[in-house]
Amino acid sequence: SNSTCSTIKQQDETILFHTGKTKVAFSALIEKGGAYGPFNTDVTLAFNKVFTNIGDAYKSCTGIFTAPVTGVYYFTFFYHAGGKHASLLRLFKNSEMIVRSSDHQTGSDTADNGGNAVVLQLQQGDQVYVRMPANHHVWAAENHTSFSGFQIS
The footprint of a second copy (CB under 8 A) covers 12, 15, 17, 19, 21-23, 25-27, 29, 51-52, 54, 71-72, 74, 76, 78, 80, 90, 97-104, 106, 108-121, 123, 142-144, 146, 148-150, 152-153
Least separation, in Å, of the C-beta of 62 and a second copy?
19
Least separation, in Å, of the C-beta of 40 and a second copy?
22
Instruction: Rank residues 3 and 21 by Cβ distance to a second copy and give the closer one.
Output: 21
Exposure letters 133-151 (e unless 16+ CB within 10 A, then b): beebbbbbbeebbbbbbbb
Q: Comparing C-alpha atoms, which of 145, 143, 149 is closest to residue 113?
A: 145
Instruction: Rank residues 43 and 116 by Cβ distance to a second copy and give the closer one.
Output: 116
- β-partners of residue 86 are none
Longest dimension (CA), the chain: 53
Q: Comparing C-alpha atoms, which of 68, 26, 74, 76 is closest to residue 51?
A: 26
Least separation, in Å, of the C-beta of 51 and a second copy?
6
Least separation, in Å, of the C-beta of 21 and a second copy?
5
